[in-house]
Amino acid sequence: MSAGVYIHVPFCVSKCLYCDFISSCGSEKDMDKYQKALINEINQTEICGQADSIFFGGGTPSVYPVEHIAEIIEVLKQKDVISNNAEMTIEVNPGTVDMPKLKSYLDMGINRLSIGLQSADDTELKTLGRIHGYHEFLTTFENARRAGFGNINVDLMSAIPGQTVTSYENTLRKVMTLAPEHISAYSLIIEEETPFYKMYGETSDSKDEEKTGRMKLPSEEEEREMYYLTKRYLAENGYARYEISNYSKSGYECRHNIKYWSRNDYYGFGTAAASLVNNERYVNTEDRNYYIQENGNPHKIKKEQMKLTISEQMEEFMFLGLRKMNGVSYEKFKEYFHRDIDEIYKDVIDKEIKNGLLIKDEKKLRVYLSERGIDVSNMVMAEFLL
């Protein structure tokens, strides 16, 4: 089975207030040093077989020099890693790409864009700390189409401070007129170690928003209404939900992300990049200075390494697989583990079917989350930890 390759570009124009990703601003000199270490890591890593998905994530990969992106792809080609039909994605932020850059991406083989819109409301974007407005997004999207991109994802976010159901619906309506091939729709999560956590987290000051200058978070009821609005609105416009937070037109499911949820092998390069190879998980250091100091040496930059036991592999197979709308295959489980799924999980599956949180398709021999189960998916998935 083909693997995936993930390239982490840890640079941004500025840090968004909600972001807990490993990224920061960087000079041209910083990027050159990082590139040297990144290329060395790739060259020193044995990649078995070919990859049919390459994903440049971050950070904001579109702030990285085009020449660096091209060099990475060329190195992968020299290693004979990229398959002929590979899906090659790069994440871009509005305002960080122009027409020449977009055409360069296409020329080097990148055939899928993921554009971080989040909201079509400029006030909400400013609240998030985004550097763009809706106009910049629109220009980026239209330029991408003119350049020749026929596979574009748009990232959307709900439950933003100050957001209303009406403003969120307006964002959905505007995006639907553009007809991207793929939509990733996430609810804002207030993560620790972010400015938003200080403003809205458990330890934040709960004084009146008018006095503190903070925008009010949508209520739990409003957040649920946005969630159901997303599902209904996208379905009505021809987008099939194939994972809890991802929707696509037919044939445009993100190949790379499906590898994560299906536990296919993938190789991560760069700071904080994660890999799964032959049932061994490892994560690179988050320290960019250390990564550069060690010149990306794969033997020195790994922060975590864990060879998964059979029980851990089964757990991942279940809770990652249940993120997908078609759920978990009984046949695949037996193929991977040489044991029947009911031998391990019958009691849990029967209990959650009885609770109305799981559904079993007897004909296709698959088990998947019900609509109610999706609402409490984390709780259901935790049941499969042995």
pLDDT of residue 203: 45
Q: What is the mean pLDDT of residues 314-326?
A: 97
Q: What is the mean pLDDT of residues 231-239?
A: 97
Most confident segment among 20-24, 92-96, 355-359, 382-386: 355-359
Q: Are residues 113 and 254 in the same domain?
A: yes
pLDDT of residue 32: 97
Q: Are residues 126 and 10 in the same domain?
A: yes
pLDDT of residue 22: 54
The yes-or-no verdict on residue 23 having pLDDT over 90 is no
Look up the CATH number of the domain holding residue 376.
Answer: 1.10.10
**Residue 296 in domain:** no
The yes-or-no verdict on residue 164 having pLDDT over 60 is yes
Instruction: Tell me how far apart the 2 most distant CA atoms of the chain are, in Å.
Output: 62
**Residue 207 in domain:** yes
**Residue 145 in domain:** yes
pLDDT of residue 197: 55
Q: Are residues 59 and 154 in the same domain?
A: yes
Q: Are residues 57 and 206 in the same domain?
A: yes
Edge-to-edge strand ranges of the sheet holding 328-329: 328-329, 366-369, 358-361
Q: Are residues 144 and 208 in the same domain?
A: yes
**Residue 291 in domain:** no
Q: Are residues 190 and 321 in the same domain?
A: no
Q: Are residues 118 and 253 in the same domain?
A: yes
**Residue 114 in domain:** yes
The yes-or-no verdict on residue 274 having pLDDT over 70 is yes
Q: Are residues 328 and 190 in the same domain?
A: no
Boundary-marking domain end, from 241, 262, 283 = 262
Residue whose C-alpha is closest to residue 9's, from 54, 42, 58: 58
Q: What is the mean pLDDT of residues 156-182?
A: 96
Boundary-marking domain end, from 204, 229, 262 = 262
H or E segment and range at residue 260: helix 255-262
**Could you tell me the end-to-end alpha-carbon distance of the chain, in angstroms, rounded to an integer?**
27
pLDDT of residue 216: 81
**Reported pTM:** 0.92
pLDDT of residue 19: 52
**Residue 180 in domain:** yes
Separation between Cα atoms, residue 229 and residue 375, nearest integer Å: 14
- Look-up: residue for tokens 């249940």? 322
In the chain, % of residues over pLDDT 90: 82
Q: Are residues 105 and 8 in the same domain?
A: yes
The yes-or-no verdict on residue 352 having pLDDT over 90 is yes
Structure-model confidence comparison of residues 137 and 130, the more confident one: 137
pLDDT grade, residue 293 (50/70/90)?
very high
Classify residue 174 by burial, with Cβ atoms within 10 Å: 0-12, 13-18, 19+: middle
217: domain range?
3-262
**Residue 267 in domain:** no
Look at the chain and report how many structural domains it folds into. 2
